[in-house]
């Protein structure tokens, strides 16, 4: 049974067709990639599945439940975590607060606890703090825990965003260009973190990437998106040798 299933998703922004007959099946624990030239609609696909826009046509099933029409936080609570292409951080909060915030849906102490500081609230807050520190340790950012997130170097910020997404306890993790702007050393670190996450949590991962090295080494299955349509789908070897893919990337260097 596929964890996430998208059927014939089509989306128009006004008169512009952004995504056409898009299909996706992600099995539990699978790592899938989404590549394609700039402007192909990859982030739009992400935004449609995570609920930021409602697709004009098509259906999306998360664990057999139709999630079209649900609000993003509802979809996130059901196990769909994500990171963002442009690093959406909260400029006045510390690293630890970022990761703790993502545990929002797990909190049960309600407004009474929030207003009155009940023992239940103290217990739950402490529990999410412990969990948050664990996740930060996993991505190697625990030493920054109490710093404002804007003070961190870029690579560390990306890792914090990763820990934040993990804190939602996703079954599927959508990563939007996780290595964008990274130097080769940071890139290898990030790939290690992705592998570690996959091994530790068994989470399925759906990855948008431009660095083909990352996609080829990590992904089980890859889709190539051009002008909102999937032109090729297969394992890394098949994609690398697919003439349509090569054509879409005409002249592009396959460089890490």
Partner 1 sequence: MTSKTNSDWRFRLKRFWAPVPLLGWLLGALGAVILEHIAGDPFSELLGLPKIPVLFGALVMLKKPLLIPSALIYVLVIYGMPLALVGRLCSGLANQAAKRLLQFSKPFSVLIHLVLLYAVLHTWSDLSAYRLLTLKFTLIAVMLTLSLNVINGYMGEFSCSHPGFMALGAYVASTFTLSLFVNDRLFGEALLPPSLGPFLFPLALIAGGLVAALGALVVAIPSFRTRGDYLAIISLAFMFIVKSLFENLEVVGGPRGMGSQPNWANLPTVFIWTVLCVWVINNFVRSTFGKALNAVRDDETAADAMTVNTRRTKMTGFLFAAFWAGVAGGLFAHVLRYINPSTFGIQRLAEMLAMVYFGGLNSVYGSILGAVSLSLLSEALRPLEILKWIIIPLLLILVMIFRPTGLIAFREFNVGNLIKPKIQTRIED
Least Å distance, CB 116 to partner 1, is 6
- Say if CB 163 and CB 71 are below 8 A apart: no
The Cα 172–Cα 78 span in angstroms is 10
Least Å distance, CB 221 to partner 1, is 24
The site map against partner 1 for 167-206 (x = CB under 8 A) is: xx--------------------------------------
- Say if CB 180 and CB 186 are below 8 A apart: no
CA–CA–CA angle 250, 20, 237 (5° rounding): 45
Give, as ranges, the residues between 51 and 90 that touch partner 1 (CB under 8 A).
Answer: 51-52, 71-73, 76-77, 81-82, 84, 88-90
Neighbours of 51 (CB within 10 A): 21
- Of 164, 209, 224, 232, the one binding partner 1 by CB under 8 A: 164
Least Å distance, CB 125 to partner 1, is 6
Least Å distance, CB 123 to partner 1, is 12
Q: Which two tokens stand for residue 113?
A: 């606890």
Token look-up 């309600």 returns: 110
Nearer residue to partner 1 within complex by CB, 89 or 245:
89
Q: Which two tokens stand for residue 53?
A: 């826009």
Stretch in the footprint of partner 1 (CB under 8 A) among 96-104, 137-145, 207-215, 233-241: 96-104
Least Å distance, CB 252 to partner 1, is 30
Least Å distance, CB 207 to partner 1, is 16
Number of residues that bind partner 1 (CB under 8 A): 38
Phi, psi of 238 (to 5 degrees): -60, -40
**Residue 43, CA distances (Å) to 136, 207, 225 in order:** 26, 10, 11
> Under the criterion CB under 8 A, does residue 128 sit at the interface with partner 1?
yes
- Of 114, 196, 254, 256, the one binding partner 1 by CB under 8 A: 114
**Residue 19, CA distances (Å) to 4, 114, 144, 218 in order:** 18, 43, 40, 25
Least Å distance, CB 240 to partner 1, is 32
- Say if CB 80 and CB 49 are below 8 A apart: yes
Residue 227 burial by CB count (10 A; 0-12/13-18/19+): exposed, middle or buried?
middle
Binding site for partner 1 (CB under 8 A): 50-52, 71-73, 76-77, 81-82, 84, 88-93, 97, 100-105, 107, 111, 113-117, 121, 125, 128, 164-165, 167-168
């Amino acid at each position: 049974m596929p964890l996430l299933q998208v059927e014939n998703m089509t989306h128009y922004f006004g008169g512009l067709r952004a995504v056409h007959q898009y299909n996706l099946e992600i099995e539990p624990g699978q790592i899938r990639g989404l590549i394609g030239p700039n402007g192909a609609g990859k982030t739009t696909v992400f935004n449609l599945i995570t609920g930021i826009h409602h697709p004009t046509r098509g259906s999306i099933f998360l664990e057999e439940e139709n999630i079209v029409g649900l609000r993003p936080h509802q979809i996130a609570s059901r196990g769909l975590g994500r990171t963002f292409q442009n690093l959406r951080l909260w400029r006045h909060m510390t690293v630890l607060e970022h990761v703790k915030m993502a545990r929002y849906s797990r909190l049960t102490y309600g407004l009474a606890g929030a207003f009155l500081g009940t023992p239940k609230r103290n217990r739950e807050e402490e529990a999410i703090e412990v969990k948050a520190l664990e996740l930060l340790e996993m991505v190697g950012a625990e030493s920054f825990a109490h710093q404002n997130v804007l003070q961190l170097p870029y690579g560390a910020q990306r890792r914090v965003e990763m820990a934040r997404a993990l804190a939602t306890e996703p079954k599927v993790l959508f990563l939007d260009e996780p290595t964008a702007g990274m130097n080769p050393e940071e890139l290898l670190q990030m790939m290690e973190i992705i592998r570690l996450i996959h091994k530790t949590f068994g989470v399925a991962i759906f990855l948008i990437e431009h660095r083909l090295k990352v996609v080829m080494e990590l992904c089980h299955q890859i889709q190539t998106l051009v002008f909102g349509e999937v032109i090729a789908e297969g394992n890394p070897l098949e994609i690398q040798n697919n003439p349509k893919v090569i054509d879409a990337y005409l002249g592009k260097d396959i460089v890490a």
